Structure 1
Amino acid sequence: MPGARVHDLITVSTLAAFDVLYVAKVHPASLVPLCCFSGAYLFAGLACAGDLDTNSREYRRWGPLRFIWWPYRVLVPHRSWVSHGLIVGGIIRALYLGVMFFLLSWVGVWLWNQCGMHVDPASVTQMEAHSLGQIMRTHPRESLAFLVGFVLAGTAHSLADIVSTGLKRWL
């Protein structure tokens, strides 16, 4: 299995290759989906890759927010289909991150309420879901580009592990 530096190099180099292919094949005036794809790919490749279930560089990059990955680390066996599934791994991490975002917003609402500022948790959740849905309806190409970038970065990570392990076994 490649080390963290190799995974980072794979992330950056494959992103550069995807970006060059996109600019060559699609009209360069449509760069917003490319930026959404590239941002998601870089974020997922450097901070949300398949090794979040271990004390990896990706995990440590979360700094004080790494606690949000603790349930993932406990529940997901390393190199399982959940963490290293070619397509499914990235989708699961994207969904997990979304759920954690909603849970953290509920904690924030609870803290506001403890400070005497009354906020209705249901209205906050409804507003978040409405806002996310509105963004996805208003910007479908950009939303799809973001999701594809996020998932492909995890796929690149898993493929690197599969190829590396296969070569080690073959040699």
Structure 2
Amino acid sequence: MPSGRTHDRVTLWSLPLIAGGTLWTTARADLAFWVSGGFLFSGLIFGPDLDLYSFHYKRWGMLRWLWRPYQQAIKHRSIWSHGPIIGTIGRIFYLSLWLALVGLFYLGIARLAGAKTYTGQELVAILQHSIANNFPVYLALFCGLELGAMSHYVSDWLVSTFKRRFRNGQPNPKLSVASRQKKLPVKQAKKARVK
């Protein structure tokens, strides 16, 4: 598994490609901004490794305690944290729960102070209106968040595969000569040697 610094480098080196690719594909600077911002946020702060004590987790600073229940509920590298799309949706949902709690606390304080507050139906209507009017922006932000997470998954997979294949720069001795030469799985290679 790559170190946190390696994941950071992958994110920062990939950012110009993500921004340029989005701008070229959509021809809209605002969408390129949201995709790039989501990619950077996901790659540096909101990534899959929030399920353990990691660079992502440490960067939340005084708010890192928010992720303790998440870490206890989610096993590292499970589909719920490192799964494509579902991992990102899970982190968004989890953070949204905390934001909703803060919002409810704020509404309670505002009501106690006598300020006019929105009802639940009004808040839902505002949210629906915002999503309907800004759907491309929300989609761009989600794509950026998922691309940032994907850069993490792919680098994890590449490093794990490389480590499995090679140890200390040498081919893994657990892989037989026949499996390396013929590109056969180890079980098939053992059968080929027996014959």
Q: Is the contact made by 1:106 and 1:121 (CA closer than 8 Å) also made in structure 2?
A: no
* Equivalent in the alignment of 1:83: 81
Q: Which residue of 2 aligns with 1:16?
A: 16
Considering only CA atoms, is the larger Rg found in Structure 1 or Structure 2?
2
Partner residue in 2 for 1:151: 146
Contact 2:23 2:31 in 1 (8 A): no
- Structure 1 partner of 2:173: none
* Cα shift at 1:112: 5.2
Q: Is 1:112–1:119's contact at 8 Å kept on the other side of the alignment?
A: yes
User: Runs in 1 of length 4+ with deviation above 6 angstroms?
Assistant: 119-122
Amino acid in the other structure paired with 1:53: D
Are residues 127 and 39 of structure 1, via their aligned partners in 2, closer, same or farther at CA, if it must alter by over 3 Å? farther
Number of the residue aligned with 1:141: 136
Distance 2:73 2:116 in 1: 31
Q: Which runs of 5+ in 2 are unaligned?
A: 167-195
Aligned in 2, Cα 1:70/1:107: closer, same or farther, shift over 3 Å?
Answer: farther
| Residue pair 1:49, 1:154 contacting (<8 A) in 2 also | yes
Q: Equivalent residues in 2 for 1:29-68 (5 A)?
A: 30-68=28-66
- Runs of 5+ in structure 1 lacking a partner? none
1:97, CA displacement in angstroms? 1.4
Whichever residue aligns with residue 68 of structure 1, its letter is L
1-side partners of 2:26 and 2:102: how far apart?
Answer: 38
What's the TM-score, normalizing by structure 1?
Answer: 0.86
Matched residue type, 1:117: A
Q: CA deviation at 1:127?
A: 4.8
Structure with more relative contact order (C-alpha pairs < 8 Å, separation 6 or more): 1
SS state of the match for residue 77, structure 2?
coil
Name the structure 2 match of 1:164.
159
- How far the C-alpha of 1:74 sits from its partner, in A, is 0.8
What value does the CA root-mean-square deviation take over the aligned residues? Answer: 2.1
How does the TM-score come out when normalised to structure 2? 0.76
The CA deviation at 1:170 is: 1.0
Whether contact under 8 Å (1:8, 1:46) holds in the other structure is: yes
| Percent identical | 30
User: Shift of the alpha carbon at 1:25?
Assistant: 3.8
How many equivalent pairs are there?
166
Q: What is the CA-CA distance between 1:72 and the residue it aligns to?
A: 0.5
Match of 1:117 among 113, 116, 135: 113
2:110 and 2:116 in contact (8 A); partners too:
no
Give the one of 93, 96, 104 matched to 1:95.
Answer: 93
CA contact (8 A) 1:85 1:155 kept: no
